[in-house]
Amino acid sequence: EAQVTQNPRYLITVTGKKLTVTCSQNMNHEYMSWYRQDPGLGLRQIYYSMNVEVTDKGDVPEGYKVSRKEKRNFPLILESPSPNQTSLYFCASSPYLDRGYGYTFGSGTRLTVV
């Protein structure tokens, strides 16, 4: 089954404790992206990657890091999480330059930073 898999689904952590949210896709998509969803703000892009070793900032990159060492994986790293990073996070992937398909999203990771 074609899918984007995020782990974990739920995470509660403390301020300053480094964490990684993993994202993996099995569709051989070139393009991957991370979004966060907050009440009243919709979906905002954090980082995106157009291919292996190619990443760039989205609209709200502060406090996050990403890497794209393999085509299928695009982990989101919070080096020192803060309470304002409490949010619902989605990873997405897409075939490059194929807008007719749009993005495939993962099921989401609900992160709480206390």
**DSSP code of residue 103:** -
Q: What single string gives the DSSP state of each residue in 4-58?
A: EEEE-SEEEE-TT--EEEEEEESS--SEEEEEEEETTTEEEEEEEEEETTEEEE-
Q: Does 48 bind another protein (CB under 8 A)?
A: yes
**DSSP code of residue 94:** E
Instruction: Kindly write out the interface string for residues 70-109 of this chain, putting x where it contacts another protein by CB under 8 A and - elsewhere.
Output: --------------------x-x-x-xx-xxxxxxxxxx-
Exactly one of 11, 13, 52, 58 binds another protein (CB under 8 A); that residue is 58
80 or 87: CB nearest another protein:
87
Q: Find all residues with CB under 8 Å of 108, minimum gap 6, and list them.
A: 6, 9, 37, 88, 89, 90
* Separation between Cα atoms, residue 97 and residue 50, nearest integer Å: 10
Instruction: Kindly write out the interface string for residues 7-46 of this chain, putting x where it contacts another protein by CB under 8 A and - elsewhere.
Output: ------------------------x-x-x----xxxxxx-
Q: Does 62 bind another protein (CB under 8 A)?
A: no
Q: State the residues that interact with another protein by CB under 8 A.
A: 4, 31, 33, 35, 40-45, 48, 50, 58, 90, 92, 94, 96-97, 99-108
